[in-house]
A and B are shown apart, each in its own frame.
Chain A
Amino acid sequence: MTSVDIREKYASWIVFALFLVLAGGIIVAAKVYYDHHALHYREEVAFSLSAIADLKAGELVQWRTERLGDGSLFSGNANFCDLVRRFLFDPENEEDRERIRIWLLRTWSAYGYDRVFLLDAEGNERFSIPASLYPGSRIVAEGARKALHSGKVTFQDFYRNEHDRRIYLTVLAPLPFREPGPGGASGAVLALRIDPEQYLYPFIRRWPVPSATGETLIVRREADSLVFLNELRFQAGTALTLRQPLTKTDLPAVKAVLGQFGVEEGVDYRGEPVLAATRPVPESPWSLVARMDLAEIDAPLREQVWIVSLLVGSLLGGSGAGVLLLLKHLRGGFDRERLAAAALLGIHQERLEMAQAIAHAGSWEYLPAEDAIWGSAETFRIWGMEAPPSGKVPFDEIAARIPDRERERVRVSLMDLVITGNSYEVEFPVLSADGGRERIVAAQGILHRNERGEPEKASGVVQDVTELRRKERELEEKNAELERFVYLVSHDLKSPLVTIKTFLGYLEQDVARGQTDQAAQDMTFLRNAADKMGKLLDELLQISRIGRMLHEPETVPWDELVREALDAVAGAIAQRGVAVRVDPVLLTLRGDRRRLVEIWQNLLENAVKYMGNQPVPLVHLGVGGHGQDVVFFVCDNGMGIDPRFAAKIFGLFEKLDGKSEGSGLGLAIVKRIVELYGGKVWMESEGTGRGTCFRFTLPGALQHSSKKGGENHER
């Protein structure tokens, strides 16, 4: 995971947390607002309920006062009382009767009473407007007697008339007589009967504002019961019929008749939850209840809940969108950063690849899970393979490039690395895809483990060490040759020195003893040894020059080189009577002319020198092979060389015949020059007396000739 990935994740979390906090805040604020609003709203509703209850209670009091006032109008009217007394004495008196009728009719019609009638002290009905089908209630008669007795205008509260089964209220106004009436009666009673259906019930029922459930009702206590006095909104025939025990205190009406007034929640006669305001109606047995269903009260609150929820939803949605926008913006920033990082990576990648190409070193990774190798461009170049687009190839494809003899070793090393983490450092040959030359490849690797310490992959570098190894080998050969050279020089120079010193000693003895013959012989040994040393030093100088001193390269036809060599050894050839055969070859060489001539010169010298007893000595020079495989040869039919000694002859100062002339340097010189031109020299002989063939290649000299258009000559 890159640092950008981590930062993006981190930022995303922060933004998400921000969103959560925001959402929490919105919800809490909405809740607080709603609770506050609900409380306030309930308070408002309670307040209006109270107001309605107060209003109604006040009006009821007013109404009652007016009704009692109506009664008092008659009670305090002495003339009317006297008129009634006279009428009771003589009901047949038309004048009095008519006067009473007018009074009562006027009262009945003006004040909206249901019925106005006169009762005598016994409670008997004596006159009624209008004339009724049904007689008055016994309750009224009873009440009338009490009223007459108390002398006060009183209300006969709601009662049911036992004759017509209707509910009435009646104002009872006592009409005291100044003089005893018939039978000694002290007065009569005027009853003003009120039908509550006419005005009172509608008044009570009327709600000042439109409401589905708002209702006022009046109740009174009767012993241990609560009695509903009016017709209820949601239940018919309740007046004086519906009762509730006083123990049901969850009814606000019950509480009211028990003297607990105020505003509170409870249940109503239907069992519905309600909010109710209760008030006493002063100077009456009534309690007034203004109630409304909580369902209706809460309806606006529920609506409010919807509105608040909607608001919260849209706020959440809005902040969510904002957060998303912020995230997108952040992602955009991170993506740009990633793009920049990728671009930078590309540059680094390019640099790395360039560096690898220059160093001829590639990088690779081995993925054990896939048994595949990922390689850089240079890696595939080193393997001599086309790099696949993915940069990955199965390991077997790589292994197929390794020659059979090495494949298992490489595989085992790699497995050793993957399994045990042992260092991986192998060198192996690789065949190119076209089956061309082997390349030597050195690979090194280390193991990577995951956080649990399990091997995950191996990675390392691979290097083309073909050139390096070739040069190393060359250097080793050179070193070995140099060592041999030093060794030989020390030995071969020391040998004549020993001779010189020893024979000098003998010479001294000879002189001392006067042995002149012996002295002459000793001096010959001395001279030979000194000559040998001189010659040796010359040759050393000569061979040391070969590698160091090269003249400007020239392009020379092969036959010209051969002719020069033949000229140089013409004397020896003629002396030994050697026949020379030169094949006609059209070939051009390019190199240091003198050194090239020396090759053939030395070989010719060698051939003539070791001709042995051959009666028909013959030397044959020519060229075999084609193109880069051109092989030159110098063959003779001389004494030949035992194949056992074939390897020795090119060594420094090697001679096969101790008595022969020369130091044995000739073939060593040939070898050095041939090697300078990247070639090889070898000897073929079927054995002693069967002649010798020296063959050699000069690819370095041919390469130049082919560039100079010498190909025609090669064929």
Chain B
Amino acid sequence: MKGEPIVILLVEDDPAHAEIVRRNFREFRMANRLEHVEDGQEALDYLHRQGRYTDPETAPRPGLILLDLRLPRVDGLEVLQNIKEDPDLQSIPVVVLTTSAAESDMVRAYANHANSYLVKPVDFSQFLELMKVLGYYWLVWNANPL
């Protein structure tokens, strides 16, 4: 834990779901900075500082990536694969956060070295609890060389 704020990159095409995540992190005051991109292509642009993210200031390196799977243009799994194959990016923990509980998705996510796979709960309090635990685990307890 360093003094610097940890940047979280949220890859989520559903604005409502993005809002939920944003509210939770705000509530638990864990993320000083939450960057939100809406599809896979944008996520890649952000991470590789392409397109509108050429400025390092607008696209700081994230300490955690929350990744939805079903995304327009470039699929979440493709993004995951891209990250894990990139020597500069592969050390960033990627937590898959999706509504899909399909086994095939989990298998493919882990095959692409996802650090964690979380299914969005339909229940409100469970969702809140999950976000709380997720925040503490990855942002407080999880040791990170960065």
A contact residues vs B (CB 8 Å cutoff): 487-488, 490-492, 494-499, 501-506, 525, 528-529, 642, 644-645, 648, 654-659
Contact = CB atoms under 8 A, between A and B. Distances in A.
Please indicate which of the listed interface residues A528, A656, A658, A659 has the most CB atoms of chain B within 10 Å of its own CB: A658
Contact of B73 (A491, A499, A506, A656): A656
Contact of B17 (A490, A499, A645, A654): A499
Contacts of A506: 23, 124
Please indicate which of the listed interface residues B75, B122, B125 has the most CB atoms of chain A within 10 Å of its own CB: B122
A502 B124 contact: yes
B72 A497 contact: no
Contacts of A654: 72
Interface of A is mostly: helix
16 contacts: A491-B102, A492-B70, A494-B99, A495-B17, A496-B16, A498-B122, A498-B127, A501-B127, A505-B125, A506-B124, A525-B16, A642-B73, A648-B75, A654-B72, A656-B73, A657-B73
How many residues of B sit at the interface, in one of the four size bands?
A: 20 to 34
Contacts of B98: 491
Contacts, number: 71
A519 to B, nearest CB: 14
B45 interface: no
A498 B128 CA distance: 12
Nearest to A498: B120
Contact of B124 (A487, A505, A648): A505
Contacts of A502: 16, 20, 124, 127
A504 B124 contact: yes
Contacts of A642: 73
A491 B99 contact: yes
Please indicate which of the listed interface residues B13, B16, B74, B123 has the most CB atoms of chain A within 10 Å of its own CB: B16
B16 A491 contact: no
Nearest to B39: A658
B14 interface: yes
B85 interface: no
Contacts of B35: none
Contacts of B128: 505
Interface in B31-79: 38-39, 70-75
Interface in B82-132: 98-100, 102, 104, 120-125, 127-128
B19 A525 contact: yes
Contacts of B75: 648
A480 B21 CA distance: 33
B16 A528 contact: yes
B43 to A, nearest CB: 12
A658 B70 contact: no
Nearest to B105: A487
Contacts of A495: 14, 17, 70, 99
B123 A529 contact: no
Contact of A503 (B16, B120, B123): B16
A505 B125 CA distance: 8
Nearest to B98: A491
A497 B19 contact: no
Contact of B70 (A491, A501, A503, A656): A491
Contacts of A501: 122-124, 127
A641 to B, nearest CB: 10
A529 B100 contact: no
The 8 closest A-B pairs by CB, nearest first: A505-B124, A499-B16, A658-B13, A494-B99, A658-B72, A525-B16, A495-B99, A491-B100
